[in-house]
Structure 1
């Protein structure tokens, strides 16, 4: 299967956007999963709802909200552009942000389920032996929740590969800059004679998603075996 240069651009850009989206989201995913499981504070239910809101909102609505907040004249984006010259709208950085927002609930949910399965008595025993909270988290909690982190990371990566609605609303469909696999397929389907190229990208998209899920399952099993599960 031979891809044209524009098709390769879309594939490579999708991989780049998905990778950066996952790397950007992961520390926040662990933090918010921990807050939702172990935190005790007012508004916890509201925070949970806000994190999972992208799952139930139309992606176009999420993209529009990102445009209002992070656009060049947006509430936050305007300040970033004026102060640092950084712009998210209509750039690959905005595509990363849109993919991260849309995939974040899946990452948090997987990590949260893994953290809920961690026996808190193990952490309490380590604390009674003199270990500090940060050491307990790094040496006990984090390794035990690693299967969930792996699953959440790969699911977020696969979801980012397929992100379309929020991305095209926030950063448009610019060749070589924001045209990922889904937006490239959208363009090709509307172009006379573009059906074969769209079919090739469809196959690539399915293969990438399938490989991601297989890798996720393999890594999760390997992690469980190391912990004797």
Structure 2
């Protein structure tokens, strides 16, 4: 009788390539290590330069100054609000793009993703000419006493505008990958569309939603161009951490580097959280 290869034969719980469904191992060209190392160094060395440039003895005083804490708290607060707004708007939009088909859908998708490639200053100008006092919608809002530019709400809107595509592209991909089989089964069993969406669709794409939310939050936290163009730089109102760093880079370089390090640490923490949750 032919002996079988597998866990029983080896006695160590390993499975063969055929049992795992994996093909033969494919070697990687060794020359790839050189450009890969250059790419990694290009990304890591500048961050290391920030760490090496920090004045460690004065670091606690710099990052705990009232203005620094105020800017950090404003950044975290607006980034969280913008991320929640991205979820509220992005989940329906992603579902419509992934689950329906209508004329001009490709154009709509391209326009939705346009902020990914637009210069942030252009995004800020677009918002200003839409919601400013003389903007497309701002004139009507001004008549009823609503002024958005140069307020904390403007910061949230600017961050949402540039971050929403990150959530949409992540969630739409997850929706297309998950397919519609389980949704069809739930509908066949009599579940209403809202119930199917809430109890079947959203749980299936949970990792994609978490990934998109993390990316959106990180993008909101680092937003600069659209914010300063549409919201300005008012301390305690619109002066977020990136704006604070920009203003300090000439007058107080040590403080600018210290605050930059704080942003780097927060970004690493966000990415670490996402990696721990297998979101990205």
TM over 0.5: yes
Assess, with a 3 A threshold, how the Cα gap between structure 1 residues 180 and 67 changes in structure 2: closer, same or farther: same
Q: Does 1:144 align with 2:187?
A: no
Question: TM-score of the superposition, structure 2-length normalised?
Answer: 0.75
Question: TM-score of the superposition, structure 1-length normalised?
Answer: 0.92
Q: Could you tell me which residue of structure 1 aligns to residue 81 of structure 2?
A: 20
The alpha-carbon deviation at position 81 of structure 1 amounts to: 2.7
State how far apart, in whole Å, the 1-side matches of 2:175 and 2:109 are: 15
Q: Does 1:197 align with 2:245?
A: no
Q: Could you tell me which residue of structure 2 aligns to residue 97 of structure 1?
A: 157
Query: 5+ residue gaps in structure 1?
Result: 222-229
The alpha-carbon deviation at position 219 of structure 1 amounts to: 2.8
Q: Does 1:52 align with 2:113?
A: yes
RMSD: 1.2
Q: Does 1:184 align with 2:224?
A: no
Q: Could you tell me which residue of structure 1 aligns to residue 221 of structure 2?
A: 161
SS in 1 for 2:178: coil
SS in 2 for 1:177: coil
Question: Equivalent residues in 2 for 1:114-129 (5 A)?
Answer: 114-129=174-189
SS in 2 for 1:57: coil
The alpha-carbon deviation at position 45 of structure 1 amounts to: 0.8
CA contact (8 A) 1:151 1:217 kept: no
1:177-223 CA deviation, whole Å, 9 max, x = no partner?
111111101100122xx1111011111100111111111222346xx
State how far apart, in whole Å, the 2-side matches of 1:68 and 1:47 are: 21
Query: 5+ residue gaps in structure 2?
Result: 1-59
Greater than 4 Å deviation, 4+ residue runs: none
Higher relative CO (CA 8 A, sep ≥ 6), structure 1 or 2? 1
> Which structure: larger Rg?
2
State how far apart, in whole Å, the 1-side matches of 2:141 and 2:82 are: 19
Q: Could you tell me which residue of structure 1 aligns to residue 18 of structure 2?
A: none
